Structure 1
Amino acid sequence: MTSAAARTALDLTAGLPVPSLEDFYRDLHRHPELSMAEHRTAGRLAERLRTAGFETVEGVGGTGVAGLLRNGDGPAVLLRADMDALPVREETGLPYASEADGVMHACGHDLHVTWLAGAAAALADGRETWSGTLLVVGQPAEETGQGAAGMVADGLYERFVRPDVLLGQHAAPGPAGLYPHAPGLIMSASTDVDIVVHGRGGHGSRPEATVDPVVTAAYLVTRLQTVVARETAAAESAVLTVGRIEAGTRHNIIPAEARIALNLRTQSEAVRQRMLAAIRRIALGECLAAGCPKEPEVTVGATFPVTVNDMETDRRVAAVHGEVFGAATVFDPGPAMGSEDFPQLAAGSIPYSYWFVTTTPHAVWEAAEGEGIPDKLQAVPSNHSPHFAPDLSTVAPGVRTLVAGALAQLSVA
C-alpha cells in the first residue's frame, strides 16, 4: 500500500515544468562560478524562490541563499543544494558547455540547484497537502569546505528557523534512475595536508654543495604510499593521495625547497590520527636522512567530517523513494570515499538523510567497458572529470526525490 507521502509526491510532481527546469539547468551549466563567488547562481536561485513565495535572503555566509516557507504546524525541514563549480576545463562537447574559461560544473552542483528550485516550487504550489516549515538553502563553497559552516556561523538558524531534519542529495555516476541510500556512514572524512621540504639551493653543476629537496620529496612521495599499504589494517578503509608536488624554477637550478600537497580519506577519527602521525614521522625521517638544514613543515588544512545518516530519518526517506521509483532502484551501496561539508549544517545534533541520484546517460553507460556496475563505474566519467555530463532526463526525478523526502518528514494530509 502506497503511503500518503509517496502519493502526494507523485501528485505534486506530475506537472513539473520540465522544459523550464532544463533551460534553467543549461543556463547554470553555461555560467559556473567558483567557491564563494557564486553571485549569479545565487541570484538565479533566489529569483525562483521568491517567485514560489518563499521569504528569501541572499548573502548568508558569503554568497549563500536561504528561503523560508511557513505553512502551519509541523516539523521544520531543510532542503540543501550546493552551488559552486570547479577549476576544471570542460571537455564534454555539450552545446551548453561552460562559457567560463577553465571553470566547469564538473561535480553536478548546477543539477543540485535545479533540483532544489524545482522541489521548492512544487512544494509551495501544493502547500495545501502538507503542513510544517520549509527552509531551502543554496549553499556556497562545498568544494572548499567553507560553505556549510559559514552559513551556520552567519546565523542561518537564528535568522530563519532551526530545522528538525536536514535533507540533501548528490549527482553520481551510475545508470540514470537509481537512488542509493546508506543508513549510517555514507561518506568519508577528508583532510588536506601540506608539506614543505627545506633544502639548500645551488647550481645544477655542483649538487655536492646543495641539499636537493626534489630528491627528498621524491622519496617522500614513494614512502607515503606505505601509510595505507603497510600501516592501515586491511579491514579499515583509507586513501592517501599526493595531489601536487612543486619545486624549482629552471632546469639547472637546484631549488631551496619543495612543496607537497596531500589528501587523506578516512572513515574513523582513529585512522585519521594514525595517518597524520605517520606522515609527520616519515617526513621528518626522510629529511633527516637527506641532511636537510631544517625540519619539514607539516600543516593540516581543510577537513571535511564523515557523513553519517541518522538511521531512522534515512529509513523513512529511502522507503518513500522505493514507493515512488520502485523498490529495485533503492539500495545500500556502502560508504563512499568521497567527502561532503553537508554534516556541518547539522550543527552537532540535527538528524539528516543524504543520498545519491545516479545520472550517467544510458547510452554512455551501455557503451562503457565491463559487465557489471563496479566495472562500468570505472569506465564512465565521474564527478570532477572534465567529461562529467549528467543526463537531462534526471532533472524531473531529482526534483521528485527531494519532494518525496520532504513529504516523508512533513505532516501530510
Structure 2
Amino acid sequence: MIGPMAGPMKRRAFTLIAIAMAALPAVGQTDSSSLAASAERQLPALTDTYKQFHRNPELSHHEEKTSALLASDLRKLGYTVTEHVGKYPDGSQAYGIVAILENGAGPRLLIRTDMDALPEVEKTGLDYASTVRSTNAQGQDVGVMHACGHDIHMTVLLGVAREMVERKSQWHGTLMLIGQPSEETIDGARAMLADGLYERFGRPDFVLSEHDDSTHAAGSVAFKSGPMLASSTSIDVTMRGVGAHGSAPQLSKDPILMAAEFVVLAQTIVARQIDPQQPAVLTVGMIHGGAKRNIIPEEVTMGLTLRTYSDKVRDQIIADVRRTAEGIAIGYGVPQDRMPVVTVSQTEITPVESNDPALTDRMRKVAVGALGPDHVEDADSVMGSEDVGLFSLDGKIPAMMFRLGASDPAKLAHARETGVPLPGPHSPLFAPVYAPTITTGVTAMTAMALDLLR
C-alpha cells in the first residue's frame, strides 16, 4: 500500500496477527477447552454406541459382531481398516482389527482397545443391561457381560478416532488403532503379533492404552511409572484317581477329595513358601469333575491363575504347585501311572505390564494440561494382568497404560469413608458412570495422541 496510511495500517495488521497468534495453543499443546467441548458434543452418538456394545457382549475368541461394528464405524471416519488380524496357535483366525490413518511424515502411534467380554450374568439392573447367554470353552451355558469395561474402551477409541480426523491440521504421522480380541484370555495381543502385525502395518514408535477403574472418580485419570500390572500364568491341575461306586469308596482313589485338599493346601504356597516381600497371588478359579452323585469319578480338573511381579517367583510357585499335587496323590496311594497332570498354558500367559517412565511423565503433563491438575491422580500397582504390554516388544517400544476413573465421585467418597469398596471390574454389578468416563477418556487420549504426533 502507498500513502500516508501505510504505516498505521501495517502496525494494526501486525497487532491483529499478534493477538491471533497469542490465542492459539503453543506448538505441542492442545486447546483443552475446545477438545473437552468437542468430546461433549460427541457424547450423544457415543452413548448410543456404548449401549450397543454393552447390550451385545461376546466372549473371547468370538468377537465377530463386536469387531465388525467397530471396523464399520472406523471405516466411516476414513480409516483404512483390516479385519481378522491375528492367528491362534491352533491355526484359527482371530477377530483383530487394525485401522490406519496416515497424515504425512512423522511418528507412528499405536492406540489399543480390547473388545471381549466375560462369562458373567449381569446384575446391574440397568435398562441397557446384557441378557446375552453363550457357551464357554468348557461347554457350559453362561451369561455374558462387559464386566471389565471393554465397551467403555471401544467407545473412547471411536471418540478419539473422530477427534484425530477432525484435527488433522494439528498433527503429522500415522495413527494406528488396534481392536484387540481375547484380552480376558490374555492371548489376543500374542495372536495379532504372531500374524505379522508390525511386519504388515508398521512398527509403532509409541503404544498407548487405558483401562477404566472403579477406584478413581469419573472425570479423572491416574498414572504410574514402571510396573503397574502383574504377570499372569494360567495353570491346569488334573487330579487323577480310580473311580468306583459312591457306596464303596474303599475301592477308589477319590480325585474329588484330593482336589478339595489341593485347593486348601495351594493357599499355603504363597503364605508359607514365598518371601512376604514378593507380591504373589495363586487362585483356584475353576473346578470340574464328576457326572453323577453316586459315582466317584476318574479325575477332577482345576483351573488356576498365578500373578507375580517376578519370573523367579513365578517359576518357584509353579514348581510348588507340582510338588503339592503329587504329594497329595502319593499320600492317597495313587498308582504311579495316575499321578496328577500339571499343565502350564503357553498361550494364556503374559508378562508384567510396565509403563515407560519417560513416556508416562510426558503423558501425565499432557493430561494435566487437558483436564486440570485436580483430575490427574496417582495409580497403584495391582495384581491384575493385561496383555497390552506385549505390543511394546519387551520394552523396546515406549508404552504406557493409564487408569480412567469410572465411579460416581460421591459414591466413591462414601466407599472410602466406610471401607466398603464399590463393585469393580469382573463384578456382575460393575456399572461405570459412562458419560463423564467416556468424555474424559476421549479428551485425555486425544490430547496425548496430538502431543506425540505434533
State the TM-score bracket (shorter-chain normalisation): over 0.9
The answer to whether the Cα contact below 8 Å between 2:187 and 2:349 also exists between their aligned partners in 1 is no
* Structure 1 residue 365 corresponds to structure 2 residue 412: yes
Runs of at least 4 residues off by over 4 Å: 2-6
| Displacement after TM superposition at 1:52 (Å) | 1.9
Q: What residue is the counterpart of 1:80 in the other structure?
A: 112
Q: What residue is the counterpart of 1:323 in the other structure?
A: 369
| Displacement after TM superposition at 1:275 (Å) | 0.5
Q: What residue is the counterpart of 2:175 in the other structure?
A: 134
Q: Which SS does the other structure have where 1:216 is aligned?
A: helix
Which of 353, 370, 389 lines up with 1:307 in the alignment? 353
Supply the distance in 2 between the matched residues of 1:408 and 1:267 (Cα, whole angstroms).
Answer: 31
| Displacement after TM superposition at 1:367 (Å) | 5.0
The answer to whether the Cα contact below 8 Å between 2:287 and 2:302 also exists between their aligned partners in 1 is yes
Within 5 Å, give how 1:101-112 maps onto structure 2: 101=133, 102-112=143-153
Q: Which SS does the other structure have where 2:221 is aligned?
A: coil
Q: What residue is the counterpart of 2:378 in the other structure?
A: 332
Q: What residue is the counterpart of 1:296 in the other structure?
A: 340
Q: What residue is the counterpart of 1:270 in the other structure?
A: 312
Name the % identity: 42
The answer to whether the Cα contact below 8 Å between 2:30 and 2:450 also exists between their aligned partners in 1 is no
Supply the distance in 1 between the matched residues of 2:219 and 2:238 (Cα, whole angstroms).
Answer: 46
What letter matches 2:194 in structure 1? A
Residues 134, 142 of structure 1: alpha-carbon distance in 2 compared, 3 angstrom cutoff: same
| Displacement after TM superposition at 1:327 (Å) | 2.2
The answer to whether the Cα contact below 8 Å between 2:287 and 2:300 also exists between their aligned partners in 1 is yes
Supply the distance in 1 between the matched residues of 2:438 and 2:196 (Cα, whole angstroms).
Answer: 31
Which of 49, 63, 66 lines up with 1:38 in the alignment? 63
Q: Which SS does the other structure have where 1:142 is aligned?
A: coil
* Structure 1 residue 94 corresponds to structure 2 residue 119: no
Residues 191, 134 of structure 1: alpha-carbon distance in 2 compared, 3 angstrom cutoff: same
Q: Deviations over 1:269-314 (max 9, x none)?
A: 0110111111111111111111112211000122121101111111
Q: Which SS does the other structure have where 2:37 is aligned?
A: coil
* Structure 1 residue 149 corresponds to structure 2 residue 195: no
Residues 134, 9 of structure 1: alpha-carbon distance in 2 compared, 3 angstrom cutoff: farther
The answer to whether the Cα contact below 8 Å between 2:32 and 2:369 also exists between their aligned partners in 1 is no
TM-score (norm 2): 0.86
Q: What residue is the counterpart of 1:7 in the other structure?
A: 30
| Displacement after TM superposition at 1:245 (Å) | 2.0
| Displacement after TM superposition at 1:366 (Å) | 4.6
Within 5 Å, give how 1:339-350 maps onto structure 2: 339-348=385-394, 349-350=396-397
Supply the distance in 1 between the matched residues of 2:146 and 2:428 (Cα, whole angstroms).
Answer: 9
Q: What residue is the counterpart of 1:400 in the other structure?
A: 443
* Structure 1 residue 353 corresponds to structure 2 residue 404: no
The root-mean-square deviation of aligned C-alpha atoms, in Å, is: 1.7
Choose 127-136 or 343-352, whichever is displaced more.
343-352
| Displacement after TM superposition at 1:151 (Å) | 1.4
Q: Which SS does the other structure have where 2:67 is aligned?
A: helix
The number of residues matched between the two structures is 405
Supply the distance in 2 between the matched residues of 1:217 and 1:20 (Cα, whole angstroms).
Answer: 51
The answer to whether the Cα contact below 8 Å between 2:219 and 2:406 also exists between their aligned partners in 1 is yes
The answer to whether the Cα contact below 8 Å between 2:59 and 2:119 also exists between their aligned partners in 1 is yes
Q: What residue is the counterpart of 2:227 in the other structure?
A: 185
Within 5 Å, give how 1:157-172 maps onto structure 2: 157-172=198-213
TM-score (norm 1): 0.94
Q: Deviations over 1:214-247 (max 9, x none)?
A: 2211221111111110111111101110112222
What letter matches 1:45 in structure 2? L
What letter matches 2:343 in structure 1? T
What letter matches 1:29 in structure 2? H
Choose 186-195 or 49-58, whichever is displaced more.
49-58
* Structure 1 residue 55 corresponds to structure 2 residue 55: no
What letter matches 1:395 in structure 2? I
What letter matches 1:352 in structure 2? A
| Displacement after TM superposition at 1:130 (Å) | 1.2
Q: What residue is the counterpart of 1:251 in the other structure?
A: 293
Choose 93-102 or 76-85, whichever is displaced more.
93-102
Q: Which SS does the other structure have where 1:331 is aligned?
A: strand
Q: What residue is the counterpart of 1:125 in the other structure?
A: 166
| Displacement after TM superposition at 1:138 (Å) | 0.9
| Displacement after TM superposition at 1:13 (Å) | 4.2
* Structure 1 residue 29 corresponds to structure 2 residue 70: no
The answer to whether the Cα contact below 8 Å between 1:9 and 1:403 also exists between their aligned partners in 2 is no
Q: Which SS does the other structure have where 1:167 is aligned?
A: strand
| Displacement after TM superposition at 1:266 (Å) | 0.5
Within 5 Å, give how 1:383-394 maps onto structure 2: 383-392=425-434, 393-394=436-437
Residues 9, 66 of structure 1: alpha-carbon distance in 2 compared, 3 angstrom cutoff: farther
Choose 50-59 or 279-288, whichever is displaced more.
50-59
What letter matches 1:79 in structure 2? I
Q: What residue is the counterpart of 2:21 in the other structure?
A: none
Residues 405, 14 of structure 1: alpha-carbon distance in 2 compared, 3 angstrom cutoff: same
Q: Give unpaired runs (5+ residues) of structure 1.
A: none
Supply the distance in 1 between the matched residues of 2:313 and 2:292 (Cα, whole angstroms).
Answer: 40
| Displacement after TM superposition at 1:113 (Å) | 0.4
What letter matches 1:227 in structure 2? I
Supply the distance in 2 between the matched residues of 1:13 and 1:332 (Cα, whole angstroms).
Answer: 22
What letter matches 2:210 in structure 1? Q
Within 5 Å, give how 1:273-288 maps onto structure 2: 273-288=315-330
Q: What residue is the counterpart of 1:225 in the other structure?
A: 267
Q: Deviations over 1:100-125 (max 9, x none)?
A: 12111111001100000000110111
Q: Which SS does the other structure have where 1:7 is aligned?
A: coil
Q: Deviations over 1:381-400 (max 9, x none)?
A: 11011111111221111111
Q: What residue is the counterpart of 2:136 in the other structure?
A: none
